[in-house]
Amino acid sequence: MAADTVTVVVLVALLASVAQSVTAFGFALISVPSMVFVLDVQDVVVVVSILALATEVLLAFRIWADVRWRTVGGLLMGSWIGMPVGLFVLVRAPEEALRLMVGVVAVVLASAIAAGIRITARGTATEVAVGGAAGLLGTSTGMSGPPVVAYLVGRGDEKDEFRAVITMYFLIGSVTAVALFFAVGVVTRDALLLALAGLPAVYAGSVLGNWLASRIDAILFRRMVIALLLATALSGVGFSIQRLVS
């Protein structure tokens, strides 16, 4: 395992954790397109899922009282349906096709967030559908957040309720995803070591993000994060296309 690979993972984990702590989204959307430059997609999805789980554990103790469990349950029900489908794609699809898919999905999802797209439908069926899409994306690309973000924003949740629901959904969903990865044997030794190397950066990013949250304009920071997401994802698409045609 090359030192430069470890450095990239640690720096990306730090940046993504800061963004997650300030905006409540963005960890996987920053991490996945960045790490595919130095790792196979399967390893990226595993590493990011483990690191994302760590960020959610850090947040969970602060949001417990605000969790709306009925909403979390509906989202998880759908997610548990979608996860095996996404896992099948991760295991079966060719590496370069996966790499291109990650870039394209990241561009689409980041663009949707930038455009302020919201899911305005309500009810358990909608929650299951949103969770299903998130679960499929989570185990195939590591990026499960945007469908859930679009649904919760469209519902008009207060800030504390939004953070509580999305954090608890991601926490339980990440535990499930990581368990599935172990069950089907896609967790490699290198992926585990890289995840362990990134954990201190996740903690440091969480502390820094919490400090920044009260000192930086949230709207400006959100725009900066989205610009970074788009730039990284577009670079990843270009890199993947170059690999496919070369």
Residue that is written with structure tokens 């990239």 in the block: 8
* Residue 82 neighbours by CB distance under 10 Å: 25
**What pLDDT does 79 receive?**
95
For residues 164 and 61, which has the higher predicted lDDT (pLDDT)?
Answer: 164
245 Cβ neighbours under 8 A, 6+ residues apart: none
185 Cβ neighbours under 8 A, 6+ residues apart: none
**What pLDDT does 218 receive?**
66
* Residue 6 neighbours by CB distance under 10 Å: 16
- Judge whether 137 and 106 are in contact, CB under 8 Å: no
For residue 78, the number of C-alpha atoms closer than 13 Å in the C-beta half-sphere is: 25
Distance between CA atoms of 220 and 31, rounded to whole angstroms? 20
Q: Give the highest mean pLDDT range of 86-95, 115-124, 135-144, 194-203.
A: 194-203
**What pLDDT does 229 receive?**
66
Distance between CA atoms of 125 and 77, rounded to whole angstroms? 10
**What pLDDT does 129 receive?**
92
Among residues 242, 230, 246, 245, the alpha carbon closest in space to that of 33 is found at 230
Distance between CA atoms of 177 and 159, rounded to whole angstroms? 26
| Prediction pTM value | 0.83
Q: pLDDT digits over 45-89, tens only?
A: 999 999 989 888 877 777 777 788 888 899 999 999 999 999 999
Q: Coil, strand or helix: which one is 20?
A: helix
Token output for 89:
């794609």
Distance between CA atoms of 38 and 74, rounded to whole angstroms? 36
**What pLDDT does 240 receive?**
64
Domain ranges for the chain, please list them.
3-245
Q: pLDDT digits over 116-133, tens only?
A: 777 777 888 989 999 999
